[in-house]
Amino acid sequence: MANEAKTLENGTLEVAMERAPIPGTSLQVSRVALGTWAIGGWMWGGSDEAESVRTIRGAIDHGINVIDTAPAYGFGRSEEVVGKVLAESGLRSRVLIATKTGLEWQGERVFRNASRARILREVDESLRRLRTDYIDIYQVHWPDPLITIEETAEAMRDLFEQGTIRAIGVSNFSVLQMEQFRRVAPLHVLQPPFNLFERGIETDILPYCHRNNIATFGYGALCRGLLSGRMRLDSEFEGDDLRRTDPKFQQPRFAQYLAAVERLDALAQRRFAKRVVHLAIRWMLDQGITTALWGARNPRQLLPVDEVSGWQLDASAMADVDCILHQTIENPIGPEFMAPPARSVAAQ
Ligand code: NAP
């Protein structure tokens, strides 16, 4: 993992964003990526385009070189904004675009479709919205139970061999599904849910990726803002914001998660002179995740990014984190509520 530091004129040490390779490709990714789901607006109570533009430009200024988006984020909106910023600023060559395929929608109802026909149609639509002629990292958003993994993998392999995409990724796949996929196509990236409160991949998926040289992009790094330190018991969310139904944001769990955040913040301050937002990202990286996907919708939210490089959690801090989670969260719950249905369910 590359990591450079330089001393500024005032004597403070500025640590550059860490980078890591994606094995099997020539790509070098920053260890924090910008997630642009909220920039699409849908399920996040809307978005503001001028703020979105500033956020994307700000991310690049912080040394972030991966922007993660998807057609489903605002039904094309997020990809369009990313494409517009990169085209108008001339920054396309400095940025790796990670987008996705395999979701379809009717109105605002989203369901899975990872068929070959859907993937080949979607890639053209994404290229147009992103104003580019290649996608750096193309990821299957969710496995589709109605389509064989082999069909999905073959379509992705063809796009890779044509040079339309520079790396193949999957998201929300199990070890078994990755095994099936890899019999047909190379697999460079897995994008799973992962943060301090959502650790389901630790037992088998993360070790599998390490053993097989698959880079990991952990999504929901701040657990939808819960780990930012901004949330209070009376925090309210507007419109279609998913946190109005997210089980972690409902009582009595919400109070437990907030209690954990308060103790994690105290630990971060005492041990590292940092805050919970820094600790949450650093913890992910030190658990062996290649890149943390940090969702932001205004440039201020990215200010803490500069303080996640150049330090590490030691074994005793890791143990303290586990102890805090164990003592404060009585009834933990995962991110399963976000999974879109298969077409057969959506049709009912
Ligand atoms: P996240 O990174 O856990 O949280 C993002 C939200 O936290 C922001 O929209 C903002 O919400 C709040 N926030 C961020 N920085 C903050 C700061 N410094 N101070 C206060 N609040 C802050 O969640 P996410 O966006 O769900 O996940 C990150 C990315 O992962 C997504 O954007 C997307 O690219 C990807 N993702 C992929 C999948 C998949 O199935 N593959 C699923 C989910 C996410 P407010 O402004 O509303 O407070």
The amino acid at residue 338 is M
How much is the pLDDT for 48? 96
Rounded to whole angstroms, the Cα distance separating 151 from 140 reads 12
Q: Is the peptide bond before 186 cis (omega within 30 degrees of 0)?
A: no
Span from the CA of 120 to the centroid of ligand 1 (angstroms): 28
Measured from the Cα of 68, ligand 1's closest atom is: 34
Ligand 1, residues 81, 100, 230: which to mutate, most atoms within 8 A of Cβ?
Answer: 230
- Name the closest-CA residue to atom 37, ligand 1: 219
Mean pLDDT for 147-171 is 98
Q: How confident is the model at residue 7 (pLDDT cuts 50, 70, 90)?
A: low
The rounded percent of the chain whose pLDDT value lies above 90 is: 93
β-strand 291-295 against 215-218: which pairing, if any? parallel
Rounded to whole angstroms, the Cα distance separating 35 from 292 reads 9
Mean pLDDT for 216-238 is 97
Q: Is 138 a catalytic residue?
A: no
Q: How confident is the model at residue 348 (pLDDT cuts 50, 70, 90)?
A: low
DSSP string, 153-172: HHHHHHHHHHTSEEEEEEES
Span from the CA of 180 to the centroid of ligand 1 (angstroms): 30
Q: How confident is the model at residue 193 (pLDDT cuts 50, 70, 90)?
A: very high
* Residues near 190 by beta carbon (within 8 Å), at least 6 away in sequence: 169, 170, 171, 173, 178, 205, 209, 214, 215, 216, 217
- Name the closest-CA residue to atom 32, ligand 1: 35
User: Is the beta carbon of 291 within 6 A of some atom in ligand 1?
Assistant: no
Q: What is the pTM of this model?
A: 0.96
pLDDT digits (tens, 9 = 90+) for 262-303: 999 999 999 999 999 999 999 999 999 999 999 999 999 999
β-strand 32-35 against 28-30: which pairing, if any? unpaired
Span from the CA of 44 to the centroid of ligand 1 (angstroms): 9
Mean pLDDT for 141-145 is 98
User: Does residue 172 register a pLDDT over 90?
Assistant: yes
Token readout for 233 is 């018991």
DSSP string, 85-126: HHHHHT-GGG-EEEEEE-EEEETTEEEE---HHHHHHHHHHH
User: Is the beta carbon of 279 within 6 A of some atom in ligand 1?
Assistant: no
Mean pLDDT for 1-8 is 55
Span from the CA of 50 to the centroid of ligand 1 (angstroms): 18
Q: Name the DSSP class of 193.
A: B
